[in-house]
Structures are given as C-alpha cells and as structure tokens.
Amino acid sequence: MKLKKLSLRTRIFIAMILLVLLSSILIAAVSIYQYNEETQDYHKQRLDRKETAIIRSLDFVIRETTFPVTTANVPLIFKTKIYEVAEVHNIQINLYDLEGSLLISSKADIKQEVTEKCLEPNVLNALSNTAEHRFEERREEEDKAWRSSYLYITDAKFKDLAILNLPYLEKDDFLAKELEEFLERLAYTSLLVMLAAVALAFFLSKYITKSLKTISEKMKNTRLEKRNEKINIKNTSEEIAVLVNSYNSMIDELEESAVQLATSEREQAWREMAKQVAHEIKNPLTPMRLSVQSFQRKFNPEDENIHQKVDEYSKTLIQQIDTMSSIASAFSNFAKMPAQKNEMLNVVEVVDLTLDIFNEDYITFQSNTQEIIAKFDRTQLIRVITNLIKNGIQAIPQDKQPEILVNVSDENNFVKITVSDNGIGITDENKSKIFEPKFTTKSSGMGLGLAMVKNIMETYGGTITFVTEKGKGTIFTVAFPKN
C-alpha cells in the first residue's frame, strides 16, 4: 500500500511506532558501541596497571639478587621469583633476551599460540624504534582475545636487560552480562514506550482528525441550492482555524452567489415563460385577426349566403379560442404540482381504460399479469400514459405505418410501464434536453408533456428513462414503487 493512500490517522500511528523503534535501535547501537569502547579501555588500563606493578616487583628482584645482573643470568635471577610475581598479579610473565629468544616463563606448559619461543621482527623493530620502547598488540584466537605488551626491563644502571612480555586474556563475561541486562531492560522500556506512543498516537490522531472530519462532512454536505451551516470549532490549532475561517468565508460567498443565481434563474425563467406564452397566444390571434378583417371587408347583409358565412366565421373563431384555452390549461397543469392521494389502483386496468381514449388501431397493450395494485393518483396516472402515447404518435412520420406498444409489468416491488414507438427517434443533441420544459422538436405543441411526466414521477418517487435509435423508434419507461 502506498503511503499517499493511507489516512492521516494511520500515518500518525506508523510515524510514532517507527520513531520509537528507530530510537530504541539507535540507543541499542550506541550502547553496544560504547560498551566495546569501554571494554577496550578497561582491558588496556588494566594491562597497564598490571604492567606497572610487575615492573616494580621485577626491579625489586633485580636489586636484591646475588647473581650478576646480565641477560644470560635472567633465568637464574627470576628462577623462583617469576612464579611468585605471576601468582600475585594473576598474569603470565614471559622474559626474552634482547634478540627475541625466550629466556624464562611463569608457565612451564607454554602453548605455542599464546607465547612464541621467539619474538617476531616487527615486535623487536617497534621496541627499538619507539621513544617509549614499548609495543602492544591485540589478536583473537579460538574465540579468545589476547592483548600482549612488550617493553624493556633494565638493570640498576638503566641498561636494557631483557624484554618483558605480558600476555593478557581479555575476559568479558561480567561486562557482557551487564550489556545483556541493559539491552533486556532497554527492550522492556522500548515496549512500554511503544505502548504509550500507540496510545498517544490514538488520542492525538483522534484530536487532529476530529476537526478535519467535521470540516470534511460539512464540505461533503455543502450544496448550492440550500442554506449551508458554518463550522464552529473551539480550541483548535492555528492551521485548522485558518481552514475553518476559509470554509466559512466560502459559505458566505456561496450563499451570496446562490441568492444571485436563484434570482437570475427566476427572472430568466419568467422571461422565457412569458416569451413562450406570448408566442403560443400569437399563433391563434393571427388567424382570428385575419378572419375578422375578412368578414368585415366582405360582410353584406343582403347576401343570400350570409348565414353560412357567419357560421364559418364563428367556427373559425371558436377553434382559435379553444386553442388558446388549451394553451392556458397546459401551462396551468404544468405549474400545478400533483397532490398525492392514498388511492390503491389496479394499474393494469387504469392503463387499459386510458387506451380507450385513443381510437387508433395501431396502439397495442400488453401486460404479464391482470392485476398490479399500487398507490397512485388515478388522474395523474392517466395524464402520464396519455402524454407518453401522444408523444409517441407525434414522433411517427406520415409516410410510415404507426406502431405503438404499451406494456405494464411488475418488477421487484416496482410498477414498470413502457411506451414504445417506431418513430424517427431522438438525436444525440436532443437527448439531454428531452425533459426540459418548453423544449419540442415538433411544429406544434409547447414541449410541456414530457416535463410534466417527469414532474409527476419524481413526486411519487419514480423515474422516467428512455432508449432510442435514430430512424427506428424510442422506448420510454416509467417506474414507481407500489407503496
């Protein structure tokens, strides 16, 4: 999982745990490094102390001996004393001549890997070439670490007498045990700190994300068409406060813009509606005006056909008046929200009776059952079916044999009604406008039928959809719940 996809709370958890783990690892690493450094210093200082003490003891033996103090007599001088000194200081003592050959050792069973019979040239070179005439080396053999020091011992006249070698075995059992105990305590402490970090991360992330969650929910519910509430969060961080203030400022601007937009939309809607009403009313007024002018110009009381002409003139005016009345009724019906009535209907029966209004024999009715009971307003259901069928009839060109198929079915507690035609279909350009008021592709009509159907369906919690194919026809489908 990518880090970018993790939530802020998860990131805080991971960061706190990694911080504790990293700090524990660093502390352990520094502790081990410090332990190694202190161990080396301890062994070095311990060897130096033993070396100083042994030199004093050997100097005392040299001063008290009765043998001539020469390199050749070193084995005689220290024949017994070397064992006593080694026993007192608990360290092996080796004495070499100035050429590097072993003269005497405090151990009779000298192991080859611990004490060489002859010193290596680099040891002799280091002794002779350094100012302090001392050399120290460290080596590991068979999981054991040996630290050896080499230096000259002198006689009373400070003349080099022999080479003293102290092979010192580094024993780290006690220090290693201390380190192990420390690391164990560090592990327990790190575990406790990690648990505390998890708890702290939980409450910290909850505190931080609580404000962000509140802001997120407010933003998610922000809508242009409703009044949005401002965010009121107290005792928060400066960054969150800046974000809250920015959101509240945006809400003020959004509300102001929404008011301006709503006002503009209402004004525009009224302008468009006024234009549409004016246009529709002008259509019948023009033939009415022409009819009146023609009658006025040709009126002759003595004409023997005057009654017939008056009758034709009256019919023309009545027809245009009826057209204007239908226009007014259409706008009135569109503006009137259908009132929901708790009326249980047999939808199959209502649709079948509605089709009796149409005399066309090319209208076919189908249903997979004889009874589908649903709660709906009878008048509104008739309006829906009537508008869909009229729309289908008007979509069929005159040079084509009309076919209208109405189907009613029951699907998953929903009533589904389809009205299909074999008309010209709906173009891609008009698909998004088909349910808009005042939109029509016909030479007559006001384009309110489908908008009215959509309005009714939404009122009853239903939907209206369509599937179309250019040149082959369209299928409109309305669906609404039974209850």
Contact 47, 239 (CB under 8 A): no
**Domain boundary pick from 283, 302, 335:** 335
The helix/strand/coil state of 25 is: helix
Report the C-alpha gap between 101 and 107 in whole angstroms.
16
Domain harbouring 32, CATH code = 3.30.450.20
Those residues of the chain that have pLDDT short of 50 are 1, 110-114, 338, 439, 441, 443-447
pLDDT reported for residue 245: 76
Closest CA to 380 of 271, 277, 480: 480
**Rg, the chain, Cα only:** 55
Answer whether residue 67 is part of any domain: yes
Answer whether residue 207 is part of any domain: no
Residues 161 and 302 in one domain: no
Residues 327 and 348 in one domain: no
Residues 309 and 416 in one domain: no
pLDDT reported for residue 96: 92
Residues 324 and 406 in one domain: no
Answer whether residue 212 is part of any domain: no
Report the C-alpha gap between 273 and 326 in whole angstroms.
16
To 10 degrees, what angle do helices 449-459 and 306-335 make?
30
Structure letter (DSSP) for residue 433: G
Report the C-alpha gap between 12 and 21 in whole angstroms.
14
The 3-class secondary structure across 56-78, one letter per residue, is HHHHHHHHHCCCCCCCCCHHHHC
Number of independent structural domains in the chain: 3
Quote the Cα angle for 136-138-144, to 5°.
Answer: 145
Residues 56 and 163 in one domain: yes
Distances (CA, A) of 479 to 220, 325, 356: 30, 32, 22
Residues 285 and 364 in one domain: no
Residue range(s) defining the domain that contains residue 71: 3-177
pLDDT reported for residue 278: 64
Residues 380 and 279 in one domain: no
Answer whether residue 233 is part of any domain: no
Structure tokens at 479: 């669906």
Report the C-alpha gap between 316 and 294 in whole angstroms.
12
Residue 253 phi/psi, 5-degree rounding, is: -65, -40
Closest CA to 172 of 37, 50, 30: 37
Structure tokens at 15: 């960061």
What b-and-e string marks burial along 109-138, b requiring 16 or more CB atoms within 10 Å of the CB?
Answer: ebeeebbbeebeeebbebbeeeeeeebbee
Answer whether residue 200 is part of any domain: no
Which amino acid, 118? C
Report the C-alpha gap between 386 and 453 in whole angstroms.
10
Residues 348 and 374 in one domain: yes
pLDDT reported for residue 18: 85
pLDDT reported for residue 238: 66
pLDDT reported for residue 383: 85
**Domain boundary pick from 335, 353, 376:** 335
Domain harbouring 253, CATH code = 1.10.287
Distances (CA, A) of 291 to 209, 288, 294, 298: 77, 5, 5, 10
Residues 70 and 162 in one domain: yes
Distances (CA, A) of 70 to 62, 67, 98, 154, 471: 10, 8, 11, 10, 130
Answer whether residue 198 is part of any domain: no
Contact 476, 482 (CB under 8 A): no
Residues 361 and 477 in one domain: yes
Residues 323 and 248 in one domain: yes
Residues 379 and 437 in one domain: yes
Structure letter (DSSP) for residue 106: S
Report the C-alpha gap between 400 and 361 in whole angstroms.
15
Q: What are the DSSP calls for 224-292, one per residue? A: TTSPPPPP---S--HHHHHHHHHHHHHHHHHHHHHHHHHHHHHHHHHHHHHHHHHHHHHHHHHHHHHHH
Which amino acid, 92? Q
Answer whether residue 182 is part of any domain: no
Structure tokens at 247: 């959101």
pLDDT reported for residue 279: 60
Report the C-alpha gap between 314 and 307 in whole angstroms.
10
Answer whether residue 471 is part of any domain: yes
Q: What is the pLDDT of residues 328-371, one digit of tens each?
A: 666 665 555 545 566 889 999 999 988 887 878 899 999 989 99
**Domain boundary pick from 311, 335, 359:** 335
Domain harbouring 422, CATH code = 3.30.565.10
The helix/strand/coil state of 354 is: helix
